[in-house]
A and B are shown apart, each in its own frame.
Chain A
Amino acid sequence: MRDRELTVAQRSQAQLALRRFRRHRLAVASLVVLLVLVLLAFVGGWLWRYSVADLTSDESVPPSWAHPFGTDAAGHDTFAQVLRGTQISIGISVLVAVFATVVGTVWGAVAGYYGGRLDTVLMRLADLVLTLPLLAVAAVLGHNVGGSWWLIALVIAGLYWAYVARVARGVVLSLREKEFVEAARALGAGDARIIFRHLVPNAFGSIIVNATVLVSIAILLETALSYLGFGVRPPDTSLGLLVSEAQTAVQTRPWLFFFPGLFIILIALTINFIGDGLRDALDPQQVRARR
């Protein structure tokens, strides 16, 4: 006699999720592209013969073998600049993702779990943060804080955690009444254990998906800030700054505008598609019928 249900090889939730992610071709392709961009930005940027501040004798040169992305009026190599800009965008996105996710998850989970007045207070605060006009606040803070990209990232994260908090709270609310939570309580588990060992891990799916959306928004926000002059400032550069500096050259020296813009779009798009793939992968309820 055999119970065939258990002859299937052991597969954890993570492995099943991975399998589902691999089926989402766009997401996998995006992941590859993004990894290439990251490698290019960090490894390539480090190895490339020119750095951001280098002034070469070639001024306003269109793309060539020596300068794949051309140069600007001062002789800066655009390729090096774009790579540097990409490094910063990725750095910002990682920082925002980590910070906003951690803070937002804890905030929302605690609010959702305890409910009542604590929930009301916490979520009103979060709502308050959400009502702040992001661009304006970021601009003001960015202006005062000035320059360094990681401070900009922190400013953005300091506004975006509230979105994550909302999502986390929602998921925790729906899981709170599930029997396995009640079971943990019946076993004598304390609140902290229930929140961090049971509720949050089960909320990961939704939170991570949300985090990827946040990341792409953050990159675009940084781009906007830098474009407006409130973000990253010279001598450092960012993709937004590059676009801003190149506005006047769109007709005459399109490469200065085109490449930074392309990279911005690529990064935002790939992260979005990866988010799509993650959502499909981490949603265990879906069993799609194939036509």
Chain B
Amino acid sequence: MTAADEVVLEVADLRVEFRTDEGRVRAVRGVSFPLHRGEVLGIVGESGSGKSVTSLAVMGLLPSSARVSGSVRFGGRSGDAELLGASDSELSAVRGRGISMIFQDPMTSLNPVYTVGYQIAEAIRAHQDLTRDAARKRAVELLDAVSIPHPSERVADYPHEFSGGMRQRVVIAIAMANHPEVIIADEPTTALDVTVQAQILEALRTARVQTGAAMLLITHDLGVIAGQADRVLVMYAGRVVEAGTVEEIFYTPRMPYTLGLLGSQPRLDARTLRLHPISGAPPSVTDMPPGCPFAPRCPLAAPVCQAQEPPLAVVGTSGHLSACHFSDRLDGLKPADLFRPVSRDTAP
């Protein structure tokens, strides 16, 4: 087994349930995946797919009202550890060192009353034995690595003195400070302008290259996935419905939802006359229909789809999985073959 095949994070049958006034919300319903050393795994899905809840569950950051089951094994420097159900002190040792996380809103990750340099140095000294000066020097290096101009001056500035994009880069600097094995980036660019997004993606690449970390990249933006990910998981209604390399997912998708997602994107490189939307809407989180949750919107739906939820099965190569009873039918199909370019098909 080469170093590249080594699994650094293994999630098995992860389930997350919330109890609310509206009823039981099954946000994540049995998600499993391996994350290999140095690879970028993209998790893509729309609202309600459960992708963010998955990443929060891995880090143990869900509220106590959440019921989490399954297994999350992290193979760090200090050996294998089961993260689910671990005590807060055990998790604290992992967070920021073995696994670090980048959230969507940089303002919630940065403390407004401390300088940026202090916060980076604090993150370093929480896990490494460095003097204050050494940590500060390292902080300046990190700021430079993420392309913050004049890092030795900016290190003494407060978060509000940075723009949104620069704050996010500070967060990335903190995330890479302790050479983590895994970096989880949850919608890191969603709240940012597109030119700033490009800067952030560059900074993320730097973080990966310098630390050798694997990355879990969660986003709804297919373009970002196309540019960054090695492997992709497509999530829908709390489950993984397709998994494969980035080329398999984009060029030979085998699940109708993936096709629908690709067909509904307007593209910069070609002006199509009509887009091919997926009619209807994602299922209500409290009231999920039996069988395949995508069936109400699927052009291929048949009685078997409503009766039985399709398991995630191998299609094509060994790494390409799809959860569809009719995945063979999709071989070679384009989105336009499956979805009609309608406009008024909102609900039957």
Contact = CB atoms under 8 A, between A and B. Distances in A.
A4 interface: yes
Interface stretch (A45-53, A71-79, A90-98, A282-290): A282-290
B21 A3 contact: no
Contacts of A2: 289, 296, 347-348
Contacts of A6: 347
A3 B296 contact: yes
Given A287-B21, A287-B22, A1 B280 contact: yes
Majority DSSP secondary structure for residues of B touching A: loop
A289 B348 contact: no
B301 A1 contact: yes
Contacts of A197: none
A288 B21 CA distance: 6
A5 B281 contact: yes
Interface string B188-217: 000000000000000000000000000000
A4 B65 CA distance: 26
Contacts of B279: 1
Interface residues of A, number: 14
B280 A3 contact: yes
B6 interface: no
A1 B283 CA distance: 12
A144 B153 CA distance: 72
Interface string A1-31: 1111110100000000000100000000000
A282 to B, nearest CB: 14
Q: In this complex, which of A1, A6, A286, A288 has the most chain B Cβ atoms within 10 angstroms of its Cβ?
A: A1
B301 to A, nearest CB: 7
Interface string B278-297: 01110110010100000011
Contacts of A8: 287
B118 interface: no
B326 interface: no
Interface residues of B, number: 20
B301 A4 contact: no
A187 B35 CA distance: 53
A117 interface: no
Contacts of B297: 1
A291 interface: yes
Contacts of A287: 20-22
A289 B284 CA distance: 17
Nearest to A3: B347
Nearest to B22: A287
Contact of B348 (A3, A20, A286, A291): A3
Contact of A291 (B22, B65, B284, B287): B65
B18 interface: yes
A197 B1 CA distance: 70
A4 B48 CA distance: 15
B71 to A, nearest CB: 24
Q: In this complex, which of A20, A286, A288 has the most chain B Cβ atoms within 10 angstroms of its Cβ?
A: A288
B346 interface: yes
B62 to A, nearest CB: 11
A105 to B, nearest CB: 29
Given A1-B296, A2-B296, A4-B283, A289 B347 contact: no
A3 B297 CA distance: 8
A8 B283 CA distance: 13
A290 B19 CA distance: 6
Contact of B19 (A3, A4, A20, A289): A289
Contacts of A288: 20-21
B51 to A, nearest CB: 20
B58 to A, nearest CB: 20
Interface in A84-124: none
Given A3-B280, A4-B283, A289 B20 contact: yes
B284 A5 contact: yes
B223 interface: no
B21 A290 contact: yes
A1 B296 CA distance: 4
A159 to B, nearest CB: 38
B280 A289 contact: no
A3 B284 CA distance: 9
Q: In this complex, which of B63, B287, B301 has the most chain A Cβ atoms within 10 angstroms of its Cβ?
A: B287
Interface of B: 18-22, 63, 65, 279-281, 283-284, 287, 289, 296-297, 301, 346-348
9 contacts: A1-B279, A1-B296, A3-B281, A3-B346, A3-B348, A5-B347, A20-B21, A287-B21, A289-B65
Interface of A: 1-6, 8, 20, 286-291
By Cβ-Cβ distance, the 8 closest A-B pairs, closest first, are A3-B347, A289-B65, A290-B19, A1-B348, A1-B296, A3-B280, A287-B20, A2-B296
Given A1-B279, A289-B63, A290-B65, 9 more contacts: A1-B280, A1-B301, A2-B348, A4-B287, A4-B289, A5-B281, A20-B21, A286-B21, A288-B21
